[in-house]
Amino acid sequence: MTSKDIKNMEINTEKFPVVQYNDSGKNGIQKTVAREFLLTIFLNGQELVTIMCSPKDLKYLAVGFLVSEGLLQNLESINKIEVDEFAGVVRVETKEAPDPDSRFFAKRLITSGCGGGATFYSAADIAAAKIESKMTISAEDVLALAREFQHHSELYLSTHGVHSAAICDGKKILVFNEDIGRHNAIDKIFGKCLLEQIPTDNRAVISSGRVSSEIMHKVAKRNIPIVISISSPTSLGVRIADDFGITLIASVSGKKFDVYSNAWRID
């Protein structure tokens, strides 16, 4: 484990005493558990949302969330970002902002649970055009990337309590992050891409979580042509992938995977 991995573990985990029962009886041991943290995002001085998340890379999460919600379009739109890790607050100032009386500023709590995705938009709000990318990926590379992805996170291996997400070029992982929420993990990688000017065109997203409609909306907005998941999709997730021209690969395990839409991108 590298020094960076150790630091991430210290930030993202806590240890608790537990009584473990097994065939031999019971033992008192310590278990490492993923931390759950409250982050409140303020946009141009107004409270926007509180998110249950992992307490690392809060700036990436806040920016990625704003991008996914359509409240932030590009790096040039940002005037200032302030992160208060102790208070659990990120303040973002932008050149343009929604009306303070708009639906965006109704107080919301987004939990880390399965239903904890973005809630501000509906399908009618999605402005993404059909993705015309000619990017392809080989079946062998899908399996190799999934194997690398699953062993990339020391936090997951220690806690089994977080989700992971990554952006890759079809051969190697370029950006990786993790969070207790699968939506948050996706937002963190997109936040980093925006802030560090990492292109997302002709890239693939890998996720450990279920591919639902909210996840597909996020990737469609960033013009991502390929989504790979270790888990399974939902019916609406499949339909959105098909509508936007996204290749949806799911249930990657061992030497097999399922392609639900636009299979022509698999070499």
Q: What is the mean pLDDT of the chain?
A: 89
| Residue 154 pLDDT greater than 90, yes or no | no
- Is residue 193 part of the annotated active site? The answer reads no
In this predicted structure, what is the pLDDT of residue 70? Answer: 87
Place of tokens 């990786």: 176
Q: What is the pLDDT of residues 34-83, one digit of tens each?
A: 999 999 999 999 999 999 999 999 999 999 999 998 899 899 999 999 99
CATH class assigned to 139-265: alpha beta
| Residue 266 pLDDT greater than 70, yes or no | yes
For residue 4, name the pLDDT band (cuts at 50, 70, 90).
confident
SS3 119: coil
In this predicted structure, what is the pLDDT of residue 195? Answer: 97
Closest CA to 120 of 198, 24, 49, 176: 49
In percent, the amount of the chain with pLDDT more than 70 equals 87
Cite the DSSP H helix spans in 20-175: 58-68, 139-150, 154-159
**Rounded Cα gap, residues 66 and 113, in angstroms:** 20
Q: What is the CATH number of domain 37-124?
A: 3.10.20.10
Domain extent listing, the chain: 37-124, 139-265
For residue 100, name the pLDDT band (cuts at 50, 70, 90).
low
**Are 116 and 183 spatial neighbours (Cβ–Cβ below 8 Å)?**
yes
Tell me the whole-structure pTM to 2 decimals: 0.89
In this predicted structure, what is the pLDDT of residue 238? Answer: 97
For residue 129, name the pLDDT band (cuts at 50, 70, 90).
confident
Active-site residue (options: 53, 114, 168, 193): 114
